[in-house]
Structure 1
Amino acid sequence: MASNQPAPEAPAPFRPVSPGDQGRTWEEWNPTEESIRPVRGRHRVAKQRGLARSSTVLGVGVIAAVGAGGMATAQSKPPVSISLPDSIADNLPDAKSLPGVGAYLADDADQGTVGASSPLTTAGITAAEAEQGTTDAGEALRARILQQAEQQQAGAEAEARATQEKAAAEEAAAQAAKQQSEAEAKAAAKKKADEEAAKKKAEAERLAKLALSYAVPTSSYTITSTFGQAGSMWSSGYHTGLDFAAPTGTPVKAVHSGTVKSAGWSGSYGYRTVLELDDGTEVWYCHQSSMDVTAGQKVTTGDTIGRVGATGNVTGPHLHLEIHTADGSGVDPMSWLRGKGLSI
């Protein structure tokens, strides 16, 4: 190749005088600024675009190859030759002849050959991937990404299944608990109903049996005044008994077996009979037209002890019945009679 200015020829290197060189004249070469001035011309050393042997450039090549989708390789670009001026190239010594340099370049060349013969994109490939036949780093990265995506999807699906199974189990447990609670509530309600029914049945049987020993004090009656009813016609301001309106002469009966405590006139009560029962309860029969028993006489349930009348403070014929407990307190005659199994 030509240059703008011819480069000065490099002086021959100094060498010792051999026997064949006797009689020749040798000049010592002393380098000067002019003799070593750099050559200026249009010749430029082109940048090397071929395969670089350093690990750093290799790593950049791998990244570039992977970024391109794993399809490019370092072998896809041909090497670029380096051009030097002819005058310099002809006078440069052979690099391999330099002491200690040739061996290094030879080894380096061998390594370059090996590097050039190996795919650039095999960097980062694991032994397991190599055994599976993966020789491209981009394909290996793609396979890893797909594998990771599959693992993540499998994990998400497993987590979703676990969540669904947990929710289903909780719902089933809630349903089972609800059904059990409803069953227990029904069982408790049934048990309570059965107990109530049994209790009512027992009470009915008791009252039916008890009613056999008790009797309604008169017949053909109409209830006209009840216990506790307020009114000015009563001196206490309220009614202290239960009135059975019936025709004069209607029989008055003993409600239970007992002893006649008294029988006679009692002011506003008219003719009154007091029957004392075995438990100390007193039954007062008032306003009678006549009395059929005397004090100290024992009677049984249903015996006639007198007749309905209108004696004392009355407005018409009726039986005024009062019930007093053993301590003398007055109670509602209707409730007391019904408590003995009688229907009033």
Structure 2
Amino acid sequence: MTVLLPRADGTLHRHEPCPAPRRPLPGPPPASRAVLAAAHVVADPLADTAPGGPAAIDWDATLAFRRHLWEHGLGVAEAMDTAQRGMGLDWPGAAELIRRSAAEARAAGGTIVCGAGTDQLTGAATLAEVRAAYEEQLALVESAGARPVLMASRALAAAARSPEHYLDVYGGLLRQASEPVILHWLGPVFDPALEGYWGSGDLDTATDTFLQVVGAHPDKVDGVKVSLLDAGREIALRRRLPRGVRCYTGDDLHYPELIAGDQAGFSHALLGAFDPLGPLAAEAVRSLDSGDTAGFRERLDPTVALSRHLFRPPTRFYKTGVVFLAWLAGHQSHFTMVGGLQSARSLPHLARAYELADGLGLFPDPALAERRLSLLLDIHGVPR
């Protein structure tokens, strides 16, 4: 049996679904690397919502997906950009997500980190207002019992006029943090509003400021998450970190080589790509626990084509492909997203995502994935 798929050039071609999916077994967290999947949220498809309104979340399905990740040994990075922070998920929804997921993590014995930002601010803000917004979210994450990830702030990018403003805001937050945090440098490819973050459009200068923040408070920084999609720059930054401060790769295009590392070190992982790839990724990284780098690369290298497709420009819309694959894999009953973001990618883009994921054997039930894809193709008038 074959399915007719549309290409980007408007033509159609036949694809034969994978008859034998991969079935990675549940397992413990990898010992040699910290591996966190930035997880998506499942929208409530029956909610009567409107663009720009409060996010309506299917809590049962959302939390079930997190249990799926923990079962396979991954940690969860909660309320990050994969969860549509600033792209459909508002701060009240994110706050409730953090509280519920942190409680679920305690019950499941799972690892969780949670994003703290400034997205409760609307319109122009002063530096004092930015810091107060960060403090509010930092306090909520800590009170929930999770490790905070200090996310890059659109409001800070708009208000700051020099590197010293970043040093002052982040320095104040790190001094008052109860436990070490993760600092997140999200590049403008993910969010154009973050252009010139750390006070400079020159990445070398920005890196110096970023490392100055870390170096001034190494006891308050568990690690840094670097999402610049530049492997060489991440490696250079990684080698300059103070001893004991981790580098978490956020590079969804080059993650196998960055996690494998070199003679001078390696990156841990905090990746949106590991939402759809979670069980396979955890299995691959466990190979590194026994020094089997070849086995790790053999498992993970073939996934890069899918990840690069999901994260193709405009990169910030990768969440649509992630949720689409979760629907096909049976993790949710519908293809609906908060903010209506299910419309952000074209049918040919989604069809190619299906084809690549199916080729990797990612769908536990290939027949279910094919049926659901066929429903979408029917709606778009694609012939059988």
Q: Please indicate, yes or no, whether the TM-score normalized by the shorter chain is above 0.5.
A: no
More helix by share: 2
Which of 1 and 2 has higher RCO (CA within 8 Å, sep 6+)?
2
Q: TM-score range by the shorter chain?
A: under 0.3
TM-score, normalized by length of structure 1?
Answer: 0.19
Larger radius of gyration: 1
